Chains A and B, each alone.
Chain A
């Protein structure tokens, strides 16, 4: 069953085309990662999904309900962690969750929900005094109320320390195991790689790739990463690797040369370095990370 369906979705703000004819489907039970550099249009897509803004063209539906015309029916089945939100002034963490419980007309114990996100001990404090990470946990708690069929999480790990991020991932896995569909937008590619079944890469408002992480790796020719430690890293050394057929990207990092390339190109790259007079001190190969693939697809723009 299709949960999210976007067809020719476009949004223009004055002269700026924030989304350009985006077609996307997310199926039930998927954990879908939505990637893109700043300004790519990720938040605009989520804003349309949540009914905050209307598309200029095209349609976006969730569970068959149009997000503009039938937004309440959409949100009855969706838990949302919005980006850039602030808590309600004057309400404690517990009162926030109680508000979500009453709004969704479900019967849950706020203490249980707050325990799940690690906020039970701070439940009585005003939420406006919470740290950024605690606010993220609170919004996640509100999103989890009522066991929604779809979780929409916009940059959910912002402000979380590594332990908090790991706890967030664990909760998302539990939700996925429960059968919930998860739509996950993040700049932290390791997070996306750790939890997502499939990803979409958005750039300049256009969806430039949608696939599983393995599929993306295949699409860039096998997706091997060659990490070489040469005796020197200069333009000549980088150029030598770049010239090899099958090499997709070459970057310098901490005195090493990192190249994403096909399996066949690895040895050719090493030979080319040797021929250029560069001594190879050490080398290793890795699978290309999601970040490497992201750089490849977006032409060098970091998330």
Chain B
């Protein structure tokens, strides 16, 4: 279980650094503000599970860049400085090293997410809201996993290149494509189809499915599903049936591919 040793070291290093601490305070602040605003601007009933649907787009916008920020230096920074040689002189496998770094960094972000949503839960419930504990816990878990997706993307970028700068560029490009470009392209494509009068054809289904394949889309769909007691009669691809496997795929996919690639790379 040497990944625990690596994760513990990364946890400590991350919490000792100033920038990660500031971003975590920012994350907790954003979630708290959302919880403070929600009872004022939200529609009744005010519940913790409906708060999840309300805050998911806020969280999505904050967790993604923080996750990449936490992840991109995990391997590449030490590769560039030479500390990776020291790390790999210990009896750790390369995959273990990548996994340990991921766990340590995702753990820090996850702990801050739990803390932020814990504070938010109190603000939502007091004085007028209702606590729906199981659904809220599921949303907290979902949010932690969403943060882990982006840490995983950052760590994957870090494991695929040799310098910190390239890892940052790769992470930011992934962030830009998955958060901004993806939505813009699929929304634009759908608008074009509607303008062309194509409202009921396989091509529109493909566009709408594609719109659900990014991590943010999957997170918001799952967050909304947790809030709603009635799942309604939408298309299958608008609900958890597609969002859940997509979400799990983003959680495991980039990190697994990067571990596989890193395992066999020359590190001279």
Q: Tell me whether A52 and B88 are in contact in the complex, defined as CB-CB below 8 angstroms, given that A44-B268, A84-B82, A91-B13 are known contacts.
A: yes
A93 close to chain B: CB less than 8 A = no
B195 close to chain A: CB less than 8 A = no
B83 and A85 within 8 A (CB):
yes
A76 and B13 within 8 A (CB):
no
B86 and A86 within 8 A (CB):
yes
B41 close to chain A: CB less than 8 A = no
Task: Of the listed stretches B89-97, B125-133, B167-175, name the one at the interface; the rest are far from the partner chain.
Answer: B89-97
B81 and A80 within 8 A (CB):
no
B9 and A53 within 8 A (CB):
no
A87 and B86 within 8 A (CB):
yes
B5 close to chain A: CB less than 8 A = yes
Q: Tell me whether A103 and B90 are in contact in the complex, defined as CB-CB below 8 angstroms, given that A52-B266, A85-B85 are known contacts.
A: yes
> In residues 50-76 of chain B, which contact A (Cβ within 8 Å)?
none
A89 close to chain B: CB less than 8 A = yes
Contact with B along A51-74 (1 / 0, CB 8 A): 111100000000000000001100
Which residue of the partner chain, among B5, B85, B268, contacts A103 with CB atoms under 8 Å?
Answer: B5
Residue of B nearest to A90 (CB): B13
A47 close to chain B: CB less than 8 A = yes
B267 close to chain A: CB less than 8 A = yes
A139 to B96, CA, bound (A): 21
A20 to B144, CA, bound (A): 51
Q: Tell me whether A102 and B5 are in contact in the complex, defined as CB-CB below 8 angstroms, given that A50-B88, A52-B268, A53-B268 are known contacts.
A: yes
A54 and B82 within 8 A (CB):
no
Residue of B nearest to A18 (CB): B268
Number of A-B contacts (CB under 8 A): 84
Interface centre among B85, B86, B87, B267 (most CB of A within 10 A): B86
B235 close to chain A: CB less than 8 A = no
B268 and A75 within 8 A (CB):
no
A54 and B266 within 8 A (CB):
yes
A83 to B78, CA, bound (A): 14
A80 to B91, CA, bound (A): 10
A71 to B96, CA, bound (A): 12
Residue of A nearest to B14 (CB): A90
Interface size on A, residues (CB 8 A): 33
> In residues 27-59 of chain A, which contact B (Cβ within 8 Å)?
44, 47, 50-54
A278 to B9, CA, bound (A): 69
Q: Tell me whether A89 and B9 are in contact in the complex, defined as CB-CB below 8 angstroms, given that A50-B88, A53-B268 are known contacts.
A: no
B83 and A87 within 8 A (CB):
yes
A13 to B9, CA, bound (A): 34
Which residue of the partner chain, among B5, B86, B93, contacts A88 with CB atoms under 8 Å?
Answer: B86
A89 to B9, CA, bound (A): 11
A142 and B86 within 8 A (CB):
yes
Q: Tell me whether A82 and B86 are in contact in the complex, defined as CB-CB below 8 angstroms, given that A75-B91, A103-B2, A104-B91 are known contacts.
A: yes
A45 to B168, CA, bound (A): 32
A89 to B78, CA, bound (A): 9
Residue of A nearest to B73 (CB): A89
B13 and A82 within 8 A (CB):
no
B17 close to chain A: CB less than 8 A = yes
Which A residues touch B87, using CB under 8 A?
Answer: 88
A89 and B89 within 8 A (CB):
no
Residue of A nearest to B80 (CB): A86
Residue of A nearest to B96 (CB): A72
> In residues 161-206 of chain A, which contact B (Cβ within 8 Å)?
none
Which A residues touch B230, using CB under 8 A?
Answer: none
A90 to B12, CA, bound (A): 9
Which residue of the partner chain, among A80, A103, A143, contacts B92 with CB atoms under 8 Å?
Answer: A103
A100 and B88 within 8 A (CB):
no
Which B residues touch A283, using CB under 8 A?
Answer: none
Residue of B nearest to A152 (CB): B89
Which B residues touch A80, using CB under 8 A?
Answer: 89
Which A residues touch B8, using CB under 8 A?
Answer: 102
Which B residues touch A143, using CB under 8 A?
Answer: 89
A72 and B92 within 8 A (CB):
yes
A125 to B213, CA, bound (A): 48
A103 and B13 within 8 A (CB):
no
18 other A-B residue contacts (CB within 8 Å) besides A89-B13, A89-B83: A47-B268, A53-B267, A54-B266, A72-B96, A75-B91, A76-B91, A85-B86, A86-B78, A86-B81, A87-B83, A88-B13, A90-B12, A95-B12, A99-B90, A100-B90, A102-B5, A103-B2, A103-B92
**Which residues of B approach A to under 8 Å, CB–CB?**
2, 5, 8-9, 12-13, 16-17, 77-78, 81-83, 85-93, 96, 264, 266-268
- For this complex, 6 residue pairs linking A to B, each with C-beta atoms less than 8 Å apart, are A54-B266, A75-B91, A86-B81, A102-B8, A104-B91, A139-B86
Q: Which 7 A-B pairs have the closest CB atoms?
A: A80-B89, A86-B82, A103-B90, A86-B81, A82-B85, A75-B91, A53-B266
